[in-house]
Amino acid sequence: MKYMIPIIIIVVAFFEGSVRLGANDGANDFIAPVLAAAKNGNATAQALVGTMYYYGYGLNQDYKKALLWYKLAAELGEVSAQATLGRMYYLGHAVRQDLVQAHKWYDIASVNGHEDAGSYRHRVSEKMSHDQIIEAQELAASWIYKFKN
């Protein structure tokens, strides 16, 4: 997690520079090894590919593909991917808006150490019923048990 933000900054700077300079060949040279690492199960690379699809950095923006990559990374414990899944469910990006799922993912990310996920979860919970919050907490606990064991 502590390396994810610097990696994203480097990627964004690289693609912004490539677009301005028209140097898309360099972007393609960067994307191939990242995709290869993601396909080989590297959680950081999977989250990075998700981010590239989510924002359209070097790849066409595609929320459905971003969702797929974020889920793969989340299952491997990538906390930024877990938090972004919360965001996607909260905003309804590639999925129907689902506050229970948003709360669940923010809860998982928070338990795993994401600095902001707890406050995001709190904001989501303000829009939920007590029963929805209980359901989200149970889903999060079940998910954490499944993927920690």
Report DSSP letters for the chain, one per residue: -TTHHHHHHHHHHHHHHHHHHT-HHHHHHHHHHHHHHHHTT-HHHHHHHHHHHHHTSSS---HHHHHHHHHHHHHTT-HHHHHHHHHHHHHTSSS---HHHHHHHHHHHHHTT-TTHHHHHHHHHTTS-HHHHHHHHHHHHHHHHHHH-
pLDDT bracket for residue 21 (50, 70, 90): very low
pLDDT at 28: 73
Reported as a single tens digit per residue, the pLDDT across 36-59 is 999 999 999 999 999 999 999 999
Q: How many domains does the chain have?
A: 1
Reported as a single tens digit per residue, the pLDDT across 81-90 is 999 999 999 9
Of residues 64 and 26, more confidently modeled: 64
CATH of the domain at 32: 1.25.40.10
Domain that holds residue 107: 4-148
